[in-house]
Structures are given as structure tokens and as C-alpha cells.
Amino acid sequence: MEKSPCLFFCKSSYFRQYFCGAARLSFDTNLLIMRILFLFLIFTIAQTSLSAQIDTSLRSMNARETELYNEIMKYRSQKKLKKIPVSLSLTKVAQCHVRDLNTNTPSSKCGAHSWSSNGVWKPVCYNTDKNAAKLMWSKPSELTPYTGNGYEIAFWTTDTAFTAIEALTSWKTSPPHNSVIINFGMWQDSDWKAIGVAAEGNYAVVWFGDMSDPVKAATVTE
């Protein structure tokens, strides 16, 4: 029966110190390197996952958003409808959604009311699925203290320099969108008490709610 060189040499204190000790050191070093590489891999995956998450912070409304809000209120006034207070909660939802839409363009089978899986919300492919609308309506309560449903109109264009008037004109010429803005048809009994507006990149969205925002309303300059 052949004996292992390591076992043979390790009987000698000299070889045990230098030969077998070096073997164990090499094994420990390799194990340490493997552990470091594993931790680096986990860290890289975690960083990639975090970087893919959409920013959910709330910023102040920009000039185009302010103009869009004011133009919507003017349009409602022409229809003898009351002004809707700006909601910080719905504004945050709107901002989150335009960021998500610009970063994660919905597939051809999903509409502009879809939300990706790269956020702190429940993802939804907005199509004919009966649960799709409910998952869209629930976004305010998923992202803010606003516990009521939210209803959205969305605008898309290839021109990132689109104006507030262009977005509103598009909605006014689309019966389903126009009805939400002026409480017509299926929306005639809705009493909008909160609104949020966002316009970034290729998208503009407006969120309406029939519950007052528990967060203090924002002031918009006309």
C-alpha cells in the first residue's frame, strides 16, 4: 500500500513544519480567495439590483408641469367645473410613473398604465386582465399615505421637448381621457379632490383622486 507523501514527510518535524505547513497555507489561501470572490459576486448582484430600482423621491413641480396643471384647470373652468387641489401624494405617484415608463418602456402587449417590476410597487401589465385596473388604481396607497384609488391619463410622444398644450390637446381629442378631465360619462359622478401631474422624457401623466390628500396640499403658481 502506497503512502501519501504528505503523511510520510509529516512524520519528520522538519518536513512537517515546511512541507505540510505550506500545503495547509496554500489551501487556506485558496479558500480565502474563493470566499472573497463569492462575496464580491453577491455585492455586485446586489448593487445591480439596487441600481435598477426607480427613484421614488418627490421633487418640486417644474415649469412644464405647472403649466399643464394650470391649463387643465382653465379647461375645467370653461366647463363650469371646480379647481382640483394639487396633491403631493399623487404628484409623487405621477413622478414615479414617468420615471418608470421612460426607463422601462412597456411591451407591445401592455399599455402606458403599466408598471415594471423595478420598483417598490406591485408590477402590472395594463391590458384586458380584470385585475390590471385595480393594480393601477392602488398605486397611491402603495407609494404614499393616500389610501384612496388613483386614476391616470397618460401621454407619450417621440419629442421630449413636448409642451403642456400638446399633451392637453391630445387628451381633449381622446374621448376616454377627456371624460376623466371634465367628469363626463362614466366619470360624471366622480368628485375629484386631488390631482398629481408629472412630465419627464417622452411622457406626461396626470393622476386624479376622489379623496382629499392627508398630506398638506402643494401651492401652485398660476
* 106-121: b (≥16 Cβ within 10 Å) or e: beeebbbbbbbeebeb
State the Cα–Cα distance between residues 56 and 71, nearest whole angstrom: 26
**50: burial class by Cβ within 10 Å (0-12, 13-18, 19+)?**
exposed
Which residue(s) pair with 86 in the sheet?
195
Q: Which residue's entry shows cell 363650469?
A: 80
Distance CA 92, CA 74 (A): 23
pLDDT string in tens for the chain (222-residue length): 555 455 444 555 555 555 555 556 566 676 777 777 766 666 555 444 444 689 999 999 999 999 999 999 999 999 999 999 999 999 999 999 999 999 999 988 999 999 999 999 999 999 877 789 999 999 999 999 999 999 999 999 999 999 999 999 999 999 999 999 999 999 999 999 999 999 999 999 999 999 999 997 666 655
Closest CA to 192 of 183, 203, 201: 183
What is the CB-side half-sphere exposure of residue 15 using CA atoms within 13 A?
Answer: 8
Q: What is the structure's pLDDT at 84? A: 98
